[in-house]
Amino acid sequence: MRTRNRKPRGAHRFAYGGLDRIIHERARLGVLTSLIAHPKGLSFGDLKELCALTDGNLSRHLQVLEQAKLVEVRKGYEGNRPQTLCRITAQGRRRYLEYLAVLEQVIMDAAAAAKLGTSFS
């Protein structure tokens, strides 16, 4: 196996520091994407179903997201039934969109790279 002698350009080019770890974690990415798709909020039960998470897992991830002020979780009512409601905050929305921009960069890098790989390897 040989490497090219040419040095790779751009130190830290693939560091992707903007991929906020709180948002990047797979389950939380699903939760936030669900919530951004439902800006008026989702019940705990619906969110659990959409993201295929257990009660325990969803609770744990919501706690992380709530502490980071990305979502708010409130007790409310659906008719007469008590219900836990989850909603993305304005800050959550803003940070999610920033995260998305970095994710798009990864995809563009990867798509460009994969194309190069096809022609050269």
Binding region for a copy of itself (CB under 8 A): 1-5, 7-8, 10-17, 19, 21, 24, 26, 29-31, 33-34, 36-43, 46, 49-53, 72, 74, 76, 78, 83, 85, 87, 93, 96-97, 100, 103-104, 106-107, 109-114, 116-117, 120-121
Which of 60/87 has CB closer to a copy of itself? 87
Specify the residue, 3 or 80, whose C-beta has the smaller distance to a copy of itself: 3
Q: Which is nearer to a copy of itself, 12 or 56 (CB)?
A: 12
* Residue with tokens 């989850």, as numbered in its chain: 86
Give the burial string for 36-71 (b: 16+ CB within 10 Å, else e): eebeebbbbeebbebbebeeeebeebbeebeebebb
| 118, containing H or E segment | helix 90-120
Minimum separation from the CB atom of position 53 to a copy of itself (A)? 8
Q: How far is the CB of 113 from a copy of itself (least distance, A)?
A: 4
What is 60-109 written as a DSSP string?
HHHHHHHHTTSEEEEEEEETTEEEEEEEE-HHHHHHHHHHHHHHHHHHHH
| Cβ count within 10 A of residue 93 | 15
Residue among 91 and 111 whose Cβ is closer to a copy of itself: 111
CB of 108 to a copy of itself, least distance (A): 10
